Structure 1
Amino acid sequence: MTKVQGQRFKVQDSEFDLEPFIPMPKIDIEVNCPVFDSFRVRQVGGMFDVPPAKRASQRFGVEVPDGVLEEDDWQIGLIVGPSGSGKSTIARAMFGDRVYRPRQWPADRAVIDGFEGGTGLASGTQRPTKEITRMLTAVGFSSPPSWIKPYHVLSGGEQFRCDLARALMRNDECGTMNDESTNDLESASSIHHSSFIIHHFPLVVFDEFTSVVDRNVARVVSATISKGIRSGRIGCRLVAVTCHYDVTEWLTPDWVIDMATSDFSRRRLRRPPIELELFRCRRGAWRLFAKHHYLSGKLAPFARCFLALWEGEPVAFCATLNLIGRKNRWRISRVVTLPDYQGIGIGTAVVEAVADLHRREGHRVNVTASHPSMIAHCRRSPLWRVVNVQKTGSRRMRGFVENYRGSTGRAVVSFEYVGMRGEGREVRDSGFGISDL
C-alpha cells in the first residue's frame, strides 16, 4: 500500500454544556398483575422462596424537574435503562398517547405509499410525496430504489428508519421543514427559537429505540435524528426510550432519565467525531456499492476511484472522470454511501475531500446532482457554486459507457467546487491518510 500525503477529515457537531436542574418532584408508579394459582406456580414459589400472593406488583419512581417536560426549551429527551427497569411504564405515565404505537405496513405496496392518514388527517389521505421523501431522507433512509420496495423486503436498519419516519409523521403537525422554514428558524433569536419549539413542534415518544438494529446502525441513526431535529428539518421533539446506553452520546439528548438509578440529568454532550480515512482504490471496490447507486451500477472504465473507511469498515465510494476535450476539468461521476451509514454527512464530506484533492492538482471539479439532499447541501455550502440548472435533465450520451443512463427527464443541478477563497480549502486539519489499494 503506497501512502499518499493528505489529511484526515472529521464530521462532527458543536459542543454544549448544560447545568443540572435542581428541583425534583417525584413520579411514582405501581404496576401489578394477577397471579394464577397452579401446581407449578406453587412449586416455583417453594423452590425460590417467592411468597404466595394473589397479585404481583412492582413500583417504579423517578425524580423529574417540575414543568421541564412541558415548558422548558428542549428538543430531545432520552429514557434509558435495563430491561424490566420500568422505562416503558414511566414513558406511558408521563406522555400518554404521545407514545408511538406501530402500525402494520402493507405487504402489497411500496414504503413510499405507507404514510397515509394519521392523527388530524382523514383516513386514506395521502401525504405529499415531497414531504414523505424529505422525512425519509431526514432519518437517513435516502435510497430511492429502496423507497419503491415493500417494507418486508428491506433490511432491519432500513425498516427501523421507515418506522421512525412514520412515527415522526404520525400527525398533521409533524413533518419536515423546507429550506426557507429552516433558514427562518436558524435566523431567529434564541427566545423566539425556544417559543417556536414549545408551541409549534409536537412531541413523539418512540419506545424500543434502536433495539432491533446493530450498534453501528444505532449510532448513525441517533446522530442523523439529532442532526435533523436540531437543524429544524424534522419538525418534532423526540423522546427516545431504549435499553441501550451507547446511543446517548450520538443522540445528544437535552435530558436523560436513567431508570437503573432513577436519576434525571439535564445535559447535552458533544457528539463523538467521525474520522474517515480516504484511499485511492481499484475499480473492484465498486462491487460493494454498485447496487446502492440510484441510477446505474455501471462504472466508467477510466474512472479515478476513492474508498472511505470508518473504523476500518468501508462506508462510502466516490469516482471522478476527466471531461473529454476539457483540460483540467473533472466531474464527480459516482458517490455512494452504504445504507447503514447514510444521513450524517459522510457522502458530502467524501465528495468535498475528493474535490479538494483534485483542486490541489490544479483541476476544476463539478458535480451534477438530482438527489434532494445533495442539492440542498451544495446550495447551502460556500464551497460550491451553481453553474447550471436543467429542469428536464441533459440529453443522453452515446458511445461512452455501455448502457449509460443520462439525466433526461430528471431535474438536475450542476455545481462547481470552489473551496475557500484564496488558496482553496484544506480538507480539515487533522491528518487525512490517502493511500493506494
Structure 2
Amino acid sequence: MNIDIHHHCTDFESYRSARVKSLFNVESGADVHIHADLPIENHDWKIGVIVGASGTGKTSIAQSVWSDVKIYNPIWTKHKPIIDDITPDQPFDHVTAALSSVGLGTVPAWLRPHHVLSNGEQFRANLARAVCEAPDRLIIDEFTSVVDRQIACIGAGAFAKTWRRNHGQVILATCHYDVLDWVEPDWIFDTNTGKFHGRLERRRPRFNLEIHQTNWRYWHLFEPHHYLKMPLMIAATNYVATVNGELVAHLAVSTRPGLIEARACRLVVMPEWQGAGVGLKFLNAVCEMWLQGQNRYDKALRTIFHTSHPALAAALRRDPKWTQISGKLIGDKASKGLKTKSKYGGHFRAVQGFRYLGADYD
C-alpha cells in the first residue's frame, strides 16, 4: 500500500510570517508532503504501530490506511460511572473482565465517571471500552502519550494481549518507542526513518518479582486500592512483592481454627502494575510456600481464598492449581457476635471460594 499525502493551507504574507521566512530561509509552510509504503494488504495481522516524532505524519498515515475509520475518541457520560457507560448491552462480567484485562482492576474506579478519573485510569478505561466494543478496525492516536511510562508500558502490553483475542485490527500511533516490546506488534512503520518492519522477534520485557514477609506496616499504601473496608485479619502473616525495590502487590495469610488450613486475603496489586499478570503469580507463589511448610508454624497447609472480583474468580477457575469450593450469589444476613456488639454479614457480594491444590496440578 503506497500512501502519498499532500496537505495544503494558505501561504500567509503577514509581517511576522515574512520575518520567519527571512530568518530561517523558509519559502513557505503551506505544503506538507508525506509518503509511506505499507505492505499490509494481506490483512494477516491484528496490531500495527506507526511510531515517530510529533509532526511526522503518524495520524495522517493511519487515517489514509482506512479512510472510512475515524480516530477512536469515545464519548463518555458525565453522570454515569464507567461500569454503566461501557457497552451497557453486554453482560456485566464481560465489562468487568475487560476493565481488569487492561489493568484497571481497582474496583472503586469502576464507580466513578470517566472525567473524574486520573489520566492513567482514563487511558485504561478507554482501552477497556475499545476491547468491549471490538470494532473490525480501530485507530488509536497518541497511544500512551498522556500517562507515565510505567503505566504506559504495562497498559500497552495488557491491551495488546487482550486485543489479540478479538477478530479486529488496530493501528496504534505513538511517539514512544518504549511500548513496542510490550505491544509486540505485527508490523511497525517508523516515520522518523521511513522504514517498514514486519513482525520482529520482540519479546515482552521480563522482570524479577521478589517476595518479602512482613506485617501490616505497608497495608496503608495498598488499602485505597482494595475493594473492601474491613478489620485487619487476626494473627496474619503479610507478604509484599517488589520489583527493583518498588512495592507491587500485597497479601495477608492467616489460619483457620485448629491449623487445618491457611486463609489468604487482602490481595492488592498497585494500579501501575495491574495488567502485568503479577497478581495471580504472587498469590500462587505464597500459597505454594505455605503448602511446602514455609511458614511460621513449619506446617504444610493448603490455602483457601475468597473473592468477589469477577475477573480474579474467572482466572482462578482457569488455573489448574486451584479448585472452586463455594460460590455464594448473595451474602448472609447481618448477625451479632456472641460476646460483642459487632455484626457480620448483611452484604450482597457474590463471594466465591477456592482452594489451592499445588504446583503439581499445573
Fold in common (TM above 0.5): yes
Matches within 5 A, 1:312-323: 312-323=245-256
1:39 is matched by which residue type in structure 2?
Answer: Y
Aligned-partner Cα distance in 2 for 1:32–1:402 = 76
Matches within 5 A, 1:175-186: none
- Tell me the equivalent position of 2:41: 67
Aligned-partner Cα distance in 2 for 1:405–1:156 = 37
1:67 is matched by which residue type in structure 2?
Answer: E
- Tell me the equivalent position of 2:20: 44
Aligned-partner Cα distance in 2 for 1:412–1:102 = 36
- Tell me the equivalent position of 1:190: none
Matched, 1:87 2:58: yes
The verdict on how the C-alpha distance between 1:153 and 1:238 changes in structure 2, with shifts beyond 3 A counting, is: same
- Tell me the equivalent position of 1:160: 123
Q: How much has 1:375 moved relative to structure 2?
A: 1.1
Q: How much has 1:132 moved relative to structure 2?
A: 2.6
Q: TM-score, normalised by structure 2?
A: 0.90
- Aligned partner (choices 315, 325, 330) of residue 387 of structure 1: 325
- Tell me the equivalent position of 1:345: 277
Matched, 1:287 2:217: no
Matched, 1:76 2:43: no
Contact kept in structure 1, 2:156 and 2:183, CA below 8 Å = yes
2:3 is matched by which residue type in structure 1?
Answer: I
- Aligned partner (choices 11, 20, 30) of residue 6 of structure 2: 30
Matched, 1:418 2:350: no
For the aligned residues, what is the CA RMSD? Answer: 2.5
Q: How much has 1:109 moved relative to structure 2?
A: 2.3
Q: How much has 1:49 moved relative to structure 2?
A: 1.1
The verdict on how the C-alpha distance between 1:249 and 1:359 changes in structure 2, with shifts beyond 3 A counting, is: same
1:315 is matched by which residue type in structure 2?
Answer: V
Q: How much has 1:105 moved relative to structure 2?
A: 2.7
Unpaired runs of at least 5, structure 1: 1-24, 117-124, 175-200, 426-437
- Aligned partner (choices 194, 208, 218) of residue 275 of structure 1: 208
Deviations 1:46-92 (A, max 9, x none): 111112x4x61121122221513xx32x2211111111111001001
Matched, 1:131 2:94: yes
2:92 is matched by which residue type in structure 1?
Answer: T
Using the TM superposition, name which of 309-318 and 394-403 deviates more.
394-403
- Tell me the equivalent position of 2:297: none
Aligned-partner Cα distance in 1 for 2:121–2:237 = 30
- Tell me the equivalent position of 1:364: 302
- Aligned partner (choices 181, 186, 195) of residue 254 of structure 1: 186
Matched, 1:221 2:155: yes
Matches within 5 A, 1:290-301: 290-296=223-229, 298-301=231-234
Q: How much has 1:416 moved relative to structure 2?
A: 0.9
- Tell me the equivalent position of 2:142: 208
Q: TM-score, normalised by structure 1?
A: 0.75
DSSP-derived class of the 2:209 partner: strand
2:320 is matched by which residue type in structure 1?
Answer: P
DSSP-derived class of the 2:9 partner: strand
The verdict on how the C-alpha distance between 1:403 and 1:161 changes in structure 2, with shifts beyond 3 A counting, is: farther
2:182 is matched by which residue type in structure 1?
Answer: W
Aligned-partner Cα distance in 1 for 2:237–2:25 = 71
- Aligned partner (choices 117, 130, 142) of residue 105 of structure 2: 142
Identity level (%): 35
The verdict on how the C-alpha distance between 1:229 and 1:166 changes in structure 2, with shifts beyond 3 A counting, is: closer
- Tell me the equivalent position of 1:196: none
The verdict on how the C-alpha distance between 1:404 and 1:223 changes in structure 2, with shifts beyond 3 A counting, is: farther
Q: How much has 1:126 moved relative to structure 2?
A: 5.0
The verdict on how the C-alpha distance between 1:152 and 1:404 changes in structure 2, with shifts beyond 3 A counting, is: farther
- Tell me the equivalent position of 1:17: none
DSSP-derived class of the 1:343 partner: coil
The verdict on how the C-alpha distance between 1:327 and 1:130 changes in structure 2, with shifts beyond 3 A counting, is: closer
Q: How much has 1:129 moved relative to structure 2?
A: 3.4
Contact kept in structure 2, 1:383 and 1:418, CA below 8 Å = yes
Deviations 1:143-191 (A, max 9, x none): 2211111222211110111122233444xxx2xxxxxxxxxxxxxxxxx
Contact kept in structure 1, 2:288 and 2:359, CA below 8 Å = no
Aligned-partner Cα distance in 1 for 2:9–2:224 = 51
Matches within 5 A, 1:103-122: 103-115=74-86
Aligned-partner Cα distance in 1 for 2:307–2:55 = 48
Q: How much has 1:349 moved relative to structure 2?
A: 1.0
- Tell me the equivalent position of 2:173: 241
Aligned-partner Cα distance in 2 for 1:395–1:236 = 46
Q: How much has 1:346 moved relative to structure 2?
A: 1.1
The verdict on how the C-alpha distance between 1:137 and 1:255 changes in structure 2, with shifts beyond 3 A counting, is: same
Unpaired runs of at least 5, structure 2: 294-299
Deviations 1:301-332 (A, max 9, x none): 42211111123211111111111x23241111
- Tell me the equivalent position of 2:296: none
Contact kept in structure 1, 2:107 and 2:225, CA below 8 Å = no
Aligned-partner Cα distance in 2 for 1:392–1:205 = 41
Q: Which has the higher contact order (CA 8 A, sep 6+)?
A: 1
1:216 is matched by which residue type in structure 2?
Answer: Q
Using the TM superposition, name which of 370-379 and 290-299 deviates more.
290-299
